[in-house]
Structure 1
Amino acid sequence: MRLERLHLTGLRCLTDVGIELDPGINVLVGANGAGKTSVLEAVFLLSHARSFRSGAKEALLQRGAPNLSIFAELRHADDRVCRLGLGRSGVRWEAKLDGSSVAIGQLVRECAVVCFEPGSHALIAGAAEERRRFLDWGVFHVEHDFLPAWRRYQRALKQRNSLLRAAGLPVEALFAPWESELAQTAQLIDRQRRNYLDLLRPKLVASTQGLLPELGSLELRYRRGWSEESDLAQQLQDQRGRDLARGHTTLGAHRADWSIVFERAPLREHLSRGQEKLAALACMLAQAELYAEHCGEWPIVCLDDLASELDLSHQAAVVEQLVHAKAQVLLTGTELPQSLQSTATRVFHVEQGLFARLL
């Protein structure tokens, strides 16, 4: 898939920007703070309905702007063209597909974007939430009944947590239906996550061997968030006392995690910051390749500040793989990276939120 046109209004420093993109590699160059990363952020929002940057959602809206909007024309591998829209004037996002209002999930399913940026090392070294997001985005695009199950699970989790925080001791019978719902949906989510990791594993092995051969063989470990020894509903019942004291549910699919263990770096602490970044990049490339295999087209690939994140040899290896895959790439930097000097690219200069095409 590839974005042909992108129009952004009221996003951070971008007041009103329209860009026509190349189906191959697009490079945004300019000084820090010029607005380059905000373009990648907009593309990522279409695919995830959240930013890859940390901070309040309110920071996305340009100061003084009445609303924020992202419009794009997306062409799929079968030449089908869709018009995507995502906007916000208050606290809620509104999504449109071909001019009609749709659920956010429908928009996200239409557009797939993977991103490697300076904070990506958190996928390896950060909290479990980042790894669950990565995993669930992949499962969402492979298992079409994942989203309904995930929503049912979140609703049951919210209700049980409300009971745990209620004044006084809630009636025990109130817990049973929500714990049963949590157990049923968690079982489905767990099975789908395991299946996805089984599909991802061989692609991740190949990707890490190309980027981190010095670390040896790889093992992918997964923890589902509750003990394998008994049913989750029973464990939730047994755990109520501790959960009441803490005010939240401590077992379940929302506590799942996964990790990569290398033969020569069995603990995360054994990895350098550079190796964490390369491991995260390997995960992103493996996920993109699995998406392409399952859906018949590569997702759009965003690479933020590539030259400062990777050395020349790794830059060249990544670019070569993406060119060979015929993926559309959006890449930022203060100047055209050396690894792209001999590659056909479309280059835009960005200054104070304004875009000018150079090549």
Structure 2
Amino acid sequence: MHIARLHVERVRNLKTVALAELQPFNVFYGRNGSGKTSVLEAIHLLATGRSFRTHIPKNYIQHDAPDAIVFAQSAADKIGMQKMQSGEQLIKVNGDLVATQGQLAKILPLQLIDPQSTDIIDHGAKPRRQMLDWMMFHVEPEFYHAWQHYSRALKQRNSLLKSRRSLSLAELEPWNRMLSDYGEILHSQRAGAVEQWKHYFQQDLQRLLPDLEISLEYSPGFHSATGLLHDLAASHHKDLERRYTECGPHRADLRLKTPQGPADAVLSRGQKKLLIMALKLSQIAMLHACNKETVVLLDDLTAELDLTAQQRLIGRLSQLGSQVFITTLDHESVQHHLHEMSIAYQLFKVENGTVQIAEQ
């Protein structure tokens, strides 16, 4: 889905925002605090049900307002969300109420590229696992179903471990088998997708970091040679002591290695940012190969990337057919790149929560 129209109400300081005839690239500029990033936040909220800046709805819903509303329209679909202060939400697709956020996520695949962040590399396995599962959700139709069943079984097993001081292996056997059944499915799906992803990753790595050798390796969170059921039985006493399930796909990771050692220990901050972009661009390329176009949010593009990196990133996103929403303090640099590459764009000035089309 490429967004043709966007309507936002009561997100942070944004007054009612109504944008029509959006382009492949949409550039929002203005002073700090003007509301630029809040436009991206609203799109992220619509696609994922959450903000990328806070987990608390009252922090992004305007003060004293009961809710926030985001609506978007493409040539084929109309999607909307009403988010309440309580965290509850109402979701509509083409006028019909739907039950889950996943239905919006399917229609609107969204990638946030934050040039300032190195969290995916520096902050443990969770953000890398989330990045992998975002791709899985969009390229493997059966992944979400298996993930839901696995998550429910894991929650029940952990609840049992917390509630009882002593549990025999036989008492945990039904949960072990359920975890194993769905965990092996998740592992098989992830392993197959990562093998495909490696091809796209190496291509984008060459574009952004041509002088570096970096491998992408999938770690399943258990010993795949012996199987998850075996590992659950072997870790029985440790799980009882810790009161949670130690092994399984919920502990999976993506390991990024160089010949000199792990990427997090070897690379500079600038190299880490480019590596994250290579990871995300290669995911977008993989979706593109599956005829799924991605909406991309680029926050504060010109703050951290040099002109060459900016140009490579913009050119690659255009090549992949992505619709891009960019915030910047330096719109003239971004315009220069877009003009040089003959990319259609719309320029918006953001000031005190209002968004207006600006002259190009």
Q: Distance in 1 between matches of 2:284 and 2:194?
A: 13
**Residues 218-253 of structure 1, C-alpha deviation per residue, up to 9 Å, x if partnerless?**
311111001234231232122122112212111111
Give the drift of 1:95: 1.8
Query: Corresponding residue for 1:78?
Result: none
Query: Corresponding residue for 1:299?
Result: 294
Give the drift of 1:337: 4.5
Q: Does 1:5 align with 2:5?
A: yes
Match of 2:286 among 286, 290, 293: 290
Give aligned-pair identity as a percent.
Answer: 34
- Aligned AA for 1:254? H
Q: Distance in 2 between matches of 1:236 and 1:297?
A: 37
Contact 1:44 1:51 in 2 (8 A): yes
**Residues 129-173 of structure 1, C-alpha deviation per residue, up to 9 Å, x if partnerless?**
111111011011111111111010110010011011104434654
Give the drift of 1:297: 4.1
Query: Corresponding residue for 2:185?
Result: 188
Q: Does 1:241 align with 2:231?
A: no
**Residues 299-332 of structure 1, C-alpha deviation per residue, up to 9 Å, x if partnerless?**
1121110101210011011122223344321000
Distance 1:333 1:178, change over 3 A: same
- Aligned AA for 1:287? Q
Query: Corresponding residue for 1:275?
Result: 271
Match of 2:251 among 249, 255, 261: 255
Contact 1:307 1:337 in 2 (8 A): no
Distance 1:253 1:47, change over 3 A: same
- Aligned AA for 1:235? D
- Aligned AA for 1:19? L
Query: Corresponding residue for 2:216?
Result: 220
Query: Corresponding residue for 2:326?
Result: 331
Query: Corresponding residue for 2:350?
Result: 350
Q: Distance in 2 between matches of 1:207 and 1:337?
A: 26
Q: Does 1:130 align with 2:91?
A: no
**Residues 168-190 of structure 1, C-alpha deviation per residue, up to 9 Å, x if partnerless?**
43465442111111111111111
Query: Corresponding residue for 1:313?
Result: 308
Q: Distance in 1 between matches of 2:250 and 2:116?
A: 22
Q: Distance in 1 between matches of 2:29 and 2:232?
A: 53
Matches within 5 A, 1:133-212: 133-170=130-167, 172-212=169-209
Give the drift of 1:46: 2.9
Secondary structure of the corresponding residue to residue 214 of structure 1 = coil
Q: Distance in 2 between matches of 1:256 and 1:221?
A: 11
Query: Corresponding residue for 1:61?
Result: 61
Report the RMSD for the aligned CA atoms in angstroms.
1.9
- Aligned AA for 1:352? N
- Aligned AA for 1:312? L
Query: Corresponding residue for 2:51?
Result: 51
Runs of 5+ consecutive residues of structure 1 not aligned to the other structure: 76-80
Contact 2:116 2:304 in 1 (8 A): no
Deviates more, 1:85-94 or 1:166-175: 166-175
Q: Distance in 2 between matches of 1:337 and 1:268?
A: 34
Runs of 5+ consecutive residues of structure 2 not aligned to the other structure: none
**Residues 201-233 of structure 1, C-alpha deviation per residue, up to 9 Å, x if partnerless?**
111101011111121x33111110012342312
Query: Corresponding residue for 1:22?
Result: 22
Q: Distance in 2 between matches of 1:72 and 1:271?
A: 39
Secondary structure of the corresponding residue to residue 213 of structure 1 = coil
Deviates more, 1:225-234 or 1:52-61: 52-61
**Residues 266-307 of structure 1, C-alpha deviation per residue, up to 9 Å, x if partnerless?**
44211111111100011111111111111x242112111010
Give the drift of 1:92: 2.5
TM-score of the two chains, using structure 2 as the length reference: 0.92
Deviates more, 1:240-249 or 1:141-150: 240-249
Contact 2:288 2:321 in 1 (8 A): no
Contact 1:94 1:104 in 2 (8 A): no
- Aligned AA for 2:130? R
Secondary structure of the corresponding residue to residue 11 of structure 1 = coil
- Aligned AA for 1:280? I
- Aligned AA for 1:241? H
